[in-house]
Amino acid sequence: MQFKRVAAALGACAAVASGLVAAGATAAAAPNCPSLYVVAIPGTWETGHEKSPGPGMLADVTDGLPRSAKVDYVSYAATAFPWEGDVYGRSKNEAVDNARGLIADMTARCGNTDVALVGYSQGAHAAGDLAAEIGTGLGPIRPERISGVGLISDPRRAAADIQVGSHAPGAGAAGPRVGGFGWLSDRTRTVCIPNDLYCATAQDDFVTRFAGFLAQSSDANPANLWRYQLEAAAIVNDVMKYGGVPTLQAQLSEGANEQRFKELESFYRSESHHAYGSYRVGGGQTALTWMHNWIADMA
């Protein structure tokens, strides 16, 4: 009799466990759990606290993706200057935090859903920082849950990043990320028009590099002090390699400042930072259509 009671109890437990597994499988395959979750981060001034998050430059990337993919746009300050309310560093960090929250919520609810990250300009800065966090094991999900990371005009582009289209010189104005993308390096693609100064700053343009460093660290996290020290040291080491203090002084001279102003004026007039919808990367594709097709293949 005791044996029958134990057997019945074990049978009931097995039935409950089976039901839980089936329920879990059903939840993972539910219609509101996409096969691919695309988190898109717009660029500076494309969203904001007073605006609804919208596609901006990334519209051609996210529009028309397969129905099995779900796209969410990250809302954040998207400001660049202190008089706009948030300094650049705080705005970018808000984008990272909000994107991290979206990913954590979706992957906790949908165990079989993979994630793609895409960003433009300041949004690429944020998407790349979050990708580096995940790729080095510090993010909200394991690296294998990320199918791909697409960065358009990333201010922290490194020379070694995998580029789509013509190879851009130098690196991003804010300097490369310490440690890179870790386990996501092979799944990260960056696009940079060669004369887009946001993502293609010359290695020996120390004034721009120092300005970029100050902007991206303007909302400094004490826990990342070691990173800031390494990034500043990299610039100082390059200054010494290119001639030391006299080189920096020459770049700060009145004549050099006038030349820099002319170059910046030419850059803004060229609108190369906004030309990714027409920038050809090969195969008859623009940067945005290439990125769209690449992400669509993940869904």
The reply to whether 138 falls in a domain is yes
Beta-carbon neighbour count of residue 277 at 10 Å? 13
For the cut 60, the answer to whether the pLDDT of residue 1 exceeds it is no
CA gap 140, 264 in Å, rounded: 39
Contact 286, 278 (CB under 8 A): yes
- Which amino acid belongs to residue 199? C
The total number of structural domains in the chain stands at 1
Question: Binning pLDDT at 50, 70 and 90, where does residue 8 land?
Answer: very low
The reply to whether 17 falls in a domain is no
Report the pLDDT value the prediction gives residue 50, as an integer from 0 to 100. Answer: 78
Rounded (10°) angle between helices 122-135 and 88-109: 50
Report the pLDDT value the prediction gives residue 255, as an integer from 0 to 100. Answer: 81
CA gap 247, 238 in Å, rounded: 11
Q: What 3-state class would DSSP assign to 105? A: helix
Question: Binning pLDDT at 50, 70 and 90, where does residue 64 land?
Answer: very high
> Containing domain of residue 76, as a range?
30-202+272-296
Question: Binning pLDDT at 50, 70 and 90, where does residue 83 land?
Answer: low
Mean pLDDT of the chain: 85
The reply to whether 66 falls in a domain is yes
The reply to whether 212 falls in a domain is no
Q: What 3-state class would DSSP assign to 138? A: coil
Question: Binning pLDDT at 50, 70 and 90, where does residue 31 land?
Answer: low
Range in 16-25, 162-171, 265-274, 281-290 the model is least confident about: 16-25
**Which is it for strands 146-152 and 114-120: parallel, antiparallel or unpaired?**
parallel
Average pLDDT over residues 236-247: 82
The domain spanning residue 76 has which CATH number? 3.40.50.1820
Report the pLDDT value the prediction gives residue 81, as an integer from 0 to 100. Answer: 75
The reply to whether 258 falls in a domain is no
**Which is it for strands 188-191 and 146-152: parallel, antiparallel or unpaired?**
parallel
The reply to whether 188 falls in a domain is yes
181-210 pLDDT, tens digit per residue, is: 999 999 999 999 999 999 999 888 877 877
Lookup: tokens for 58: 């990334």
The reply to whether 278 falls in a domain is yes
Report the pLDDT value the prediction gives residue 19, as an integer from 0 to 100. Answer: 43
DSSP 281: E
The reply to whether 263 falls in a domain is no
